[in-house]
Amino acid sequence: MSLRTVLIMFACHASSAAVANDLVLVEPESAKELGGWVVDQQFMDIMGSPYVLAHGLGEPVADAIMPANFAKPGKYRVWIRTRDWVAPWKAPGAPGRFQVVIDGKPLGTTFGTEGAKWHWQDGGTVEVGKRAKLSLHDLTGFEGRCDAILFSSDLDFVPPDGGEELASLRAKLLGWTNEPADGGSFDFVVVGGGIAGTASAISGARLGLTVALIQDRPVLGGNGSSEVRVWPAGGTNLAPWPHIGDVVSELVHAKTVNDGNAKTGDIYDDARKLNLVRAEKNITLLLNQRVNQAAASEGTIKSVVAQNTRTGQRTQISGRLFLDATGDGALGALVGADFEMTATGHMGASNLWNVGDSTKNEFQIQCECKDTDALTMNFVPTSAPIAFPRCEWAVDLSQQPFPGRKGFDKSWNNKEPMYRLGAWFWESGFNKDPIQDVEWIRDQNFRAMYGAWDTLKNIDKLYPNHRLRWAAYIAGKRESRRLLGDIVLTGDDLRKNHLFDDGCFPCTWSIDLHLPHPEFVGSSEGEEFISDMTRGKYYQYEGPYWAPYRCLYSRNVSNLFMAGRDISVTHEALGAVRVMRTTGCMGEITGMAAAICGKHACLPRDVYTNYLGELKELMKRGTGNAADAASPTNR
């Protein structure tokens, strides 16, 4: 099936509302006119659906507009699934306030004002005809969120608040109980379109495999995309395998003095990655598709089901070999792969951000300029003061020094204070569950960011002409599940230079583990928002260290590869392998190994036991297009 066919199929099924008897369910993420609201799919495995987010950085975003169709006109009770996102901290102010407008008239209730958990907030009753125009009207620009809108002609009906009952109702109203559409069968199914998954898909496709690349966002690159903006680090193209990293170098240009974290979106060159994948005739690319179901038998995966994050439509993709490049080991967890997850004391997640003297933030520019590449547009500087609201609901930093505040001279790199705003060390979630608590983690990062900017603007009276220009709302995760292979690489393996006969991807990053910065624990223990990193000889090793192939496939799911931060390593070793150029090399190796499996009708383990020499021959040649590969890149 071609990429064009897949996209047409999803477009034909797109719908904003589902009607069943006296219930009408509207999913805002399927709206054709999202305005300034963004689709957030990060938590849909927990919630059962994506939601829309008013990520305006303190500036109310443009309305999202969608239709609702009714079997019969009349009076309906309206329920809005939402929450007060700062309520877990018992913080005042309900910053995520918004209105629901029906046929030009706002409901009497203001939403996002109550409840620490997702729930249905009662919007009262409304008279409608057979068709109504709905709008989500943001009131603050401070992360308001809406999961769904439900109309009931039974005015006494109360929708279920969660669990299986809500999942069943949503599935029934949206047709998810129907058989998923057939998305075809492939030699190699890659789940996750970060640097690792994308490099694997390209590598396998160039070696003749038919590949499905499934990504749950509209862009490729994961943490290295314009959505998260972590600059890909790690060494590539190193002896004795100088062609390992060729595909990575095609995906990511060689670093220049202008490159780094939290820069303007064009730096991360989303189009470069998309164009490379679309140029491969053997790859079927499925964007905005989240794999949340899989079928396996006797330790072998048969197929996965991907759900469109905009329309909700489900598609089954079958395959012979699969790669989990989700970062979270999500596919592995679905099929019962053995894994480990450090419960406490693990690395957290960050949401990078930046500030500047511009008249608009990036999200406003995107909203107003839909027909252009907004991320390449220059900001218009301003000489006029820009106000910022007080944020009583944010982390209170008015009496505390922090990186970026004048007088905080114990930070990193001795650079200008503003440089330290929104850098890698604004990180939280060290003792939270990185799967179940990730919305809390992301939101705590928001609270820290808004608290810092409120302090600088309104307490310290600094940067009068500056605004928050951009902030990631997709969490930049560092650690969660680690799927277990035939070897579990340890920190001592790197320190003691333990040589494996199947060493295949180079590690050059230090054993870089993040932990709460001691100056930011104190009374905030459990809610830390600034990290420190491991230092000293104990966390160094002689590199490049060539890590073993046996870390890249599951020990108990026979046809499952891994690439990325979910490979078979300990918590400590993860610190050295998790950077993106390194994970991209893992991707190249798994693409090569998948091609060997296809050639010999064998499984990932067999590549080590029977065809290691053949893998090394492929490693010697690489799978890059030599004319496009950049020069070797080190730390």
Query: How is 386-429 classified by DSSP, letter by letter?
Result: ------TTS---TTS--TTSTT--SSSTT--GGGGTT-TTBEE-
- Residue 242 tokens, joined: 């100088």
Last residue of a domain, one of 129, 147, 174: 174
Structural domains in the chain (count): 3
What pLDDT is attached to residue 175? 85
Model confidence at 2, in pLDDT bands (50, 70, 90)?
A: very low
| One domain, residues 563 and 483 | yes
| One domain, residues 121 and 34 | yes
pLDDT 10s digits, 517-537:
887 765 566 889 999 999 999
> Does residue 372 carry a pLDDT above 80?
no
Of 507, 582, 546, the C-alpha closest to 245 is 582
Q: Please say whether the dihedral angle defined by the alpha carbons of residues 153, 154, 158 and 164, taken in this order, is positive or negative.
A: negative
In a domain, 537, yes or no: no
> Does residue 510 carry a pLDDT above 80?
yes
The mean predicted confidence, pLDDT, of the chain is: 91
> Does residue 355 carry a pLDDT above 60?
yes
Last residue of a domain, one of 477, 499, 533: 477
8 A C-beta contact, residue 226 and residue 219? yes
Last residue of a domain, one of 426, 459, 477: 477
What pLDDT is attached to residue 629? 43
What pLDDT is attached to residue 632? 38
Determine how β-strand 560-562 pairs with β-strand 314-324.
parallel
In a domain, 520, yes or no: no
In a domain, 517, yes or no: no
> Does residue 12 carry a pLDDT above 90?
no
In a domain, 535, yes or no: no
Give the integer Cα–Cα distance in Å for 166 and 155.
Answer: 18
In a domain, 339, yes or no: yes
Alpha-carbon distances of 504 from 403, 545, 546, 561, rounded to whole Å: 39, 9, 6, 14
Instruction: Name the one residue in this structure whose structure tokens are 């190249």.
Output: 588
Give the integer Cα–Cα distance in Å for 399 and 416.
Answer: 21
| One domain, residues 25 and 45 | yes
540/7: higher pLDDT: 540
pLDDT 10s digits, 458-496:
999 999 999 999 999 999 999 999 999 999 999 999 999
Give the integer Cα–Cα distance in Å for 200 and 589.
Answer: 7
Containing H/E element for 45?
Answer: helix 44-47
> Does residue 434 carry a pLDDT above 90?
yes
Ranges of beta strands (E only) in 70-163 are 74-82, 98-102, 105-106, 119-128, 131-138, 142-146, 148-152
> Does residue 10 carry a pLDDT above 70?
no
| One domain, residues 377 and 329 | no
pLDDT 10s digits, 180-211:
999 999 999 999 999 999 999 999 999 999 99
What pLDDT is attached to residue 492? 98
| One domain, residues 398 and 484 | no
Q: Average of pLDDT values for 304-333? A: 97
Assess whether the previous peptide bond of 240 is cis (omega < 30° from 0): yes
| One domain, residues 401 and 487 | no
What pLDDT is attached to residue 338? 98
| One domain, residues 320 and 393 | no
> Does residue 1 carry a pLDDT above 50?
no
Q: Average of pLDDT values for 564-578? A: 98
Model confidence at 361, in pLDDT bands (50, 70, 90)?
A: confident
What pLDDT is attached to residue 177? 79
Domain CATH code at residue 563: 3.50.50.60
Alpha-carbon distances of 615 from 340, 434, 593, rounded to whole Å: 28, 34, 6
Of 252, 460, 231, 220, the C-alpha closest to 352 is 231
> Does residue 20 carry a pLDDT above 60?
no
> Does residue 70 carry a pLDDT above 80?
yes
| One domain, residues 136 and 62 | yes
| One domain, residues 167 and 79 | yes
pLDDT 10s digits, 78-129:
999 999 999 999 999 999 999 999 999 999 999 999 999 999 999 999 999 9
Model confidence at 357, in pLDDT bands (50, 70, 90)?
A: confident
Which letter does DSSP use for residue 30 in this model? G
Report the first-to-last Cα separation within the chain, whole angstroms: 40
| One domain, residues 142 and 196 | no
| One domain, residues 164 and 22 | yes
> Does residue 630 carry a pLDDT above 50?
no
8 A C-beta contact, residue 598 and residue 187? yes
In a domain, 536, yes or no: no
Domain CATH code at residue 115: 2.60.120.260
Q: Report phi then psi at 417, rounded to 5.
A: -50, -40
Q: Strand, helix or coil at 486?
A: coil
Model confidence at 415, in pLDDT bands (50, 70, 90)?
A: low
| One domain, residues 135 and 13 | yes
> Does residue 627 carry a pLDDT above 80?
no
Model confidence at 158, in pLDDT bands (50, 70, 90)?
A: very high
Burial class (CB in 10 A: 0-12, 13-18, 19+), 387: exposed
pLDDT 10s digits, 263-291:
999 999 999 999 999 999 999 999 999 99
Give the integer Cα–Cα distance in Å for 598 and 593.
Answer: 9
> Does residue 409 carry a pLDDT above 80?
no
Of 182, 162, 181, 179, the C-alpha closest to 170 is 162
Which letter does DSSP use for residue 232 in this model? P
Domain span at 240: 182-343+479-508+543-621
Give the integer Cα–Cα distance in Å for 386 and 384.
Answer: 6
In a domain, 194, yes or no: yes
Model confidence at 419, in pLDDT bands (50, 70, 90)?
A: confident
- Residue 228 tokens, joined: 């998260």
Model confidence at 634, in pLDDT bands (50, 70, 90)?
A: very low
Burial class (CB in 10 A: 0-12, 13-18, 19+), 499: exposed
What pLDDT is attached to residue 520? 74
In a domain, 320, yes or no: yes
8 A C-beta contact, residue 77 and residue 124? yes
What pLDDT is attached to residue 413? 52
- Residue 424 tokens, joined: 């890698």
Q: Average of pLDDT values for 572-598? A: 98
Model confidence at 626, in pLDDT bands (50, 70, 90)?
A: low
Which letter does DSSP use for residue 501 in this model? T
What pLDDT is attached to residue 519? 78
Q: Average of pLDDT values for 598-604? A: 98
What are the strands of the beta sheet with 98-102, ordered from one edge?
Answer: 64-69, 131-138, 98-102, 105-106
Determine how β-strand 514-516 pairs with β-strand 503-507.
unpaired
- Residue 275 tokens, joined: 């164009």
